[in-house]
Amino acid sequence: MARDSLGDFEQLILLAILRLPDEAYGLRIQEEIEERAHRTASLGMVYTALERLEQKKFVSSWSGGATPERGGRSKRFFKVEAAGMRALQKSLAATKRMAAGVEALVGGSR
Amino acid sequence: MSKPGRKYELRSIIITHYLDDHLSSGKHAFMVGDFGTGKTQALATIFVEGQSDQFFFESLLNVPHHGSATAGNMVLGPPKLAEFFMLLLPMKYREELIGCAEEEYWTRSLPRLGGRRAQVIFWTQMIHAWLIFLARPLAGIAGLAGMGKVVDLLLARLLK
């Protein structure tokens, strides 16, 4: 897979981050994917994908404050960078182009 | 008020502050005794579900510093062994992963599913994280094997 291309799960992660401005951290991203995409995602999956996206410079992160319910551990918040946004646009556009003309076939699949 | 209790294992609980620092929201109460620093900081978290401060205080009095405690509905933290295995994960954000697993335990799993199932979910998160980590090199090996087959096929055709 090309370095700037996105996998299916990576695409969901980037969309979840965009949906959660200023509160995109591991658990919230996982919840968002489960609620909206109806996909089961473990925290391990989410953090592995986030690490990969950060290596590709598609997202950046910063550390937040510690809270008691996290056992005193801090949250790591994520933000989509310009490169990530471009990759996401490219990926969504490709899906749209591929789906064009066959919407009637795939429309009622869910 | 207290019911016949279940036994919970407690390790090295040091209570550094009391009710002033416990956050109470009608249903759940947290109290945190925080000691140590940095990544290895030890944290004793006591969670009391739907109990008054009086019960909370009585529960604390029943907790010895080392050993087991008997308390009505008191539920103790996520499984320490699973947490330890998570700490061994060679991941950049393992501390954050453990934090999220712990937050999920206290705020989602425990109130909705109860202590036992919440602990199972915590274990599942740990096992899943390790499986993903272990699967990466295996996927690499599978990729190499695939490449090997392609090379074999090409060589076979060329040598014919």
Chain A residues with beta carbon closer than 8 angstroms to that of B23? 68
Q: Would you mind telling me the total number of residues written for chain A in this entry?
A: 110
Q: Which residues contact A39 (CB under 8 A, 6 or more apart)?
A: A9, A12, A33
Q: What is the pLDDT of residue A71?
A: 85
Look at A67 and B103 and tell me if their CB atoms are within 8 Å.
yes
Q: What is the pLDDT of residue A105?
A: 82
pLDDT grade, residue B155 (50/70/90)? low
What value of ipTM does the predicted structure carry? 0.87
Residue of A nearest to B128 (CA): A44
Is the separation of the CB atoms in B72 and A22 below 8 Å?
no
Query: Considering CB atoms only, which of A44, A50, A69 is closest to B129?
Result: A44
Chain B residues with beta carbon closer than 8 angstroms to that of A30? 100
Residue A8, pLDDT above cutoff 70: yes
Smallest CA–CA distance, residue A101 to chain B, in Å, is: 34
Q: What is the pLDDT of residues B21-69, one digit of tens each?
A: 344 433 334 443 333 333 333 333 444 444 444 444 444 444 433 333 3
Q: What is the pLDDT of residue A60?
A: 96
Smallest CA–CA distance, residue A38 to chain B, in Å, is: 17
Q: Is B69 helix (H, G, I), strand (E, B) or coil?
A: strand
Cα–Cα distance for residue pair A66/B26, rounded to 1 Å: 23
Q: Chain-wide mean pLDDT for chain A?
A: 89
What letter does residue B50 receive in the DSSP assignment?
Answer: S
Of B113, B49, B123, B116, nearest in space to B85 by CA: B123
Structural element, H or E, at residue B48 = strand B42-49
Q: What is the pLDDT of residue A90?
A: 94
Q: If you average pLDDT over residues B62-81, what whole number do you get?
A: 56
